[in-house]
Amino acid sequence: MNIRRTFGFFISVRFSLLSLFLVSIFALPHGFIIAQQDACTTNTVGKTKQQLQADLEACEREIAQWTGILNSTKEESASFSRDVAALTAKINLAQTNIKAKNVAIASLGKNINEKEIKINQLDKKIEDGRGSLGELLRKTSQIDSYSIAEAMLSNKNLSEFFIDVDTYAATQRSLAVVFEELRGNKTQTQAEKEALAKQREAEADARAVIEANKKQVEISQAEKKTLLAQSQSKEVTYGQVLADRKAKAAKIKAALFPLRDVDTAIQFGTALQYAEEASKITGVRPAFLLGIFTQESGKDESGTFGKNVGTCVITNLATGETKSTVSGRVFSNGIHPTRDLPILQDIVDDLGRDPLSTKVSCPLSYGYGGAMGPAQFIPSTWKLFVDKIKSATGTKIPDPWNARDAFFASSIYLADLGAGAGTPTAERTAACRYYSGKNCYGVGGAPNVGLGYGNSVLSHASTIQTTMIDPLQDL
């Protein structure tokens, strides 16, 4: 009897524990349940490309789950618990993104290694082909130098002469084959090198995303810690926290965002609005576009926008000579006299501006100046995009010195340069080309003049995103 009671007791306890386990599982929000075998992992050592692909797909599923959880918190009533849950989801989402990018980097590493081996093999084939080509050319030269008259007067009989002729024909055929192989190997090598460059760009982009997500985790963890402390304090209500956030957001929006070569600055909230409007048409990230304008307007050591001093006015409408409004220095290479000056005069005439008081950029240590307005468009470049700017803004006569027109113009041009892809490499390359007309790197990987500009723009964009745009979200 005691044994039966004891056995029944254990059965009852096991059933109760199982029931509690099942209840706890089904009570969890959708998305928290991730099968162990399907979980996103950072263990990439010794795995095949197929295994890494499976890991990446698992990470992508987990990213989708955390994204769904984060979105669901936005539908709940504002409260301490809602905000803590949202920050937790945001942290987990960023951490899963980091895992996914690490898996992607491991997979890219294998691809890069394969490409490098393939390129080395092709280079060896090309080198061997050149050797064969040289030998065949020497044979051809020897046969070419042996004339028919010499053959007839030589001690060789007729059959030997025709053997030489056959050898010559065979050599010519071999030359054609080697030439074709060399061309094919060179074409394939170039294709492999281009593919390798793209793989390396993708790897660099993945590493940049990892760093951005690490910063996001750090910021969100600090916010969560503060929020948990506030929720446990009897002196702070959620209403006060919300009011503080709104006050901070209002301060950010009201901050002046001075633009180059315009009479009055606009507020950051207005600048962000223009950038977001343009982004809907072009796909260019608002923070990146604002980073471009920050770079163009200049920034002093205190962090104040609008400190660029490279402004000139035209002094000679025939030669394009300009004068600095700051130093009074005269530049004979102020504006390109044939490419840009006539177009600039048409633009200011259409806008009813005085050409001799209209501000343009002073030239750098090389080339010409004459760039117009906040977006710093050269007149000939503005002319190329003016129809697209009209269509996007609904303005009959777009004005390079008007803030909204300048934002749309810059966004359209940057999209044309590839910035709409949104990757760090695409944005940096677009910024370099926006500044100098060249890619960030030249032949052999040597940095071009615009690289510093491109890196600076990305740095500005990152700061603007984390300190000015993100705090305005979900208010």
Length of the chain: 475
Q: What integer pLDDT is reported at residue 233 of this predicted model?
A: 86
Would the pLDDT of 368 be above 50? yes
pLDDT recorded at residue 125: 83
pLDDT of 7: 39
Q: Looking at the whole model, is its pTM more than 0.95?
A: no
* CA-angle at 173, arms to 172 and 174, nearest 5°: 90
Q: How confident is the model at residue 182 (pLDDT cuts 50, 70, 90)?
A: confident
Instruction: Report, as an integer, the average pLDDT of 343-352.
Output: 96
The pLDDT of residue 12: 43
| Domain 22-232, CATH among 3.10.590, 1.10.10, 1.10.287, 1.10.3470 | 1.10.287
Helix (H, G, I), strand (E, B) or coil at 267: strand
- C-beta of residue 314 within 8 angstroms of C-beta of residue 325: no
Token pair belonging to 144? 């070419």
Query: What pLDDT, on a 0 to 100 scale, did the predictor assign at position 135?
Result: 74
| Whether the predicted pLDDT of 306 surpasses 50 | no
What phi and psi, each to the nearest 5 degrees, are found at residue 436?
Answer: -120, -10
Per-residue pLDDT averaged across 133-156, rounded?
59
The one-letter code for the residue type at 426 is A
The pLDDT tens digits of the residues spanning 198-237 come to: 888 999 999 999 999 999 999 999 999 999 999 998 888 9
The CA-atom distances, in angstroms, between 313 and each of 37, 362, 369, 371 are 68, 8, 10, 11
pLDDT of residue 144: 58
- Give per-residue pLDDT as tens, 5-34: 443 444 443 433 333 333 333 333 444 444
Question: In DSSP terms, which residues pair with 361 in a beta bridge?
Answer: 311
In this prediction, residue 190 carries a pLDDT of: 87
Q: Which residues contact 379 (CB under 8 A, 6 or more apart)?
A: 335, 340, 341, 343, 344, 347, 370, 372
Cα distances (angstroms) measured from residue 10 to each of 15, 18, 21, 321: 8, 12, 16, 97
Average pLDDT of 39-54?
89
Mean pLDDT for 89-118 is: 92
User: For residues 168 and 192, which has the higher predicted lDDT (pLDDT)?
Assistant: 192
Lowest mean pLDDT segment, chosen from 71-85, 160-174, 264-278, 405-419: 160-174
Mean pLDDT of the chain: 84
In the predicted structure, residue 179 carries a pLDDT above the cut 70: yes
DSSP string of 86-131, one letter each residue: HHHHHHHHHHHHHHHHHHHHHHHHHHHHHHHHHHHHHHHHHHHHHH
| Average pLDDT value for residue range 87-94 | 95
* Upper half-sphere CA count for residue 432 (Cβ side, 13 Å): 18
Secondary structure (H, E, C), 241-309: HHHHHHHHHHHHHHCEECCCCCCCCEEHHHHHHHHHHHHHHHCCCHHHHHHHHHHHHCECCCCCECCCC
Calpha distance 170→248 (Å, rounded)? 84
Task: Specify burial of residue 122 (Cβ count, 10 A radius: 0-12, 13-18, 19+).
Answer: buried
Q: Give 427 or 180, the one with higher predicted confidence.
A: 427
Point out the least confidently predicted range of 78-82, 320-324, 421-425, 443-447.
443-447
Q: What band does 167 get if pLDDT is binned at 50, 70 and 90?
A: low
Helix (H, G, I), strand (E, B) or coil at 42: coil
